[in-house]
């Protein structure tokens, strides 16, 4: 019997526009990093911010790869509750948030971080709610019980549980790897932006922090 992939009757606008909206906001954030310069760029505590940003970007890339290993190609076939999904119901979005914060720290831009972090949390709250409706329709009581045990977004501090090994579905996993690599590429981008600002290659707005 041929399997049928379940699709909800209605996607929310947040779900439908998730990737275009993310790409648009990322472009705006990049332009802001290019056109504004923190007054302490490259000195003192700004260097610590940059280092912390690099660490978070690496965590974001590795965390998304870890999460993809458990869910790539299985999203509509089973309710994943192992590995990172035993700590938070949305590890991919959580690690993306870590990456967003990491980039704003890597470019040493406090103002950009203060805008980007809450914008991400607000928008993805709507995305997650829409996806939870789909998962509830797919998995019923199993998803309800899963929600009681595992937090929606912020991970609980516990040892990951579940199966010790997973079988990779290479096509969606490879596609997800390309997305994860963007966070590592952001490290190089942050360094290039700092170099460009140090050379005063174009007119920029000086920020007080």
97 CB-contact burial (10 Å; exposed 0-12 / middle 13-18 / buried 19+): buried
Q: What is the pTM of this model?
A: 0.89
What count of other Cβ atoms lies within 10 Å of the Cβ of residue 75? 15
- Give per-residue pLDDT as tens, 109-135: 999 999 999 999 999 999 999 999 989
State the CB neighbour count (10 A cutoff) for residue 174: 12
The reported pLDDT for the residue numbered 24 is 92
Residue-wise pLDDT tens digits, 10-23: 688 888 888 899 99
User: Residues 173, 89: contact at Cβ < 8 Å?
Assistant: no
Which DSSP state fits 161?
Answer: B
Mean predicted confidence (pLDDT) in 164-190: 84
Which CATH fold would you assign to the domain 40-200? 1.20.120
In this predicted structure, what is the pLDDT of residue 161?
82
Q: What is the DSSP string of 71-105?
A: HTTTTTTS---SBGGGT-S-HHHHHHHHHHHHHHH
The predicted pLDDT at position 5 comes to: 45
> Is the pLDDT assigned to residue 8 strictly greater than 70?
no
Using a pLDDT cut of 90, give the percent of the chain over it: 62
Q: What is the pLDDT of residue 96?
A: 96
23: alpha, beta or left, given left = phi > 0 and alpha = psi -120 to 50?
alpha
Q: Are 105 and 50 in contact (CB under 8 A)?
A: yes
Helix, strand or coil, per DSSP, at residue 45: helix
Q: How far apart are CA 141 and CA 135, in angstroms?
A: 10
- pLDDT over 60 at 4, yes or no: no
pLDDT tens digits, 35-89: 999 988 888 899 999 999 999 999 999 999 999 988 887 777 788 899 999 999 9
Domain ranges of the chain: 40-200
């Amino acid at each position: 019997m041929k399997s049928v992939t379940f699709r909800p009757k209605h996607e929310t606008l947040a779900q439908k526009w998730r990737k275009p909206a993310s790409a648009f906001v990322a472009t705006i954030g990049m332009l802001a990093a290019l056109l504004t310069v923190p007054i302490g760029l490259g000195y003192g505590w700004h260097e610590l911010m940059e280092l912390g940003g690099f660490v978070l970007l690496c965590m974001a890339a590795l965390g998304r790869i870890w999460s993809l290993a458990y869910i790539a190609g299985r999203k509509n076939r089973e309710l994943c509750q192992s590995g990172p999904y035993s700590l938070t119901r949305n590890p991919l979005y959580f690690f993306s948030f870590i990456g967003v914060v990491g980039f704003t720290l890597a470019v040493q831009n406090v103002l950009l971080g203060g805008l980007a972090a809450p914008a991400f949390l607000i928008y993805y709250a709507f995305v997650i709610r829409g996806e939870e409706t789909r998962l509830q329709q797919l998995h019923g009581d199993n998803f309800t019980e899963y929600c009681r045990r595992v937090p929606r977004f912020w991970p609980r501090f516990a040892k990951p549980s579940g199966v010790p090994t997973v079988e990779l579905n290479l096509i969606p996993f490879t596609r997800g790897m390309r997305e994860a690599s963007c966070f590592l590429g952001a490290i190089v981008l942050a360094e290039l932006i700092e170099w460009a600002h140090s050379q005063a290659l174009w007119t920029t707005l000086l920020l007080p922090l």
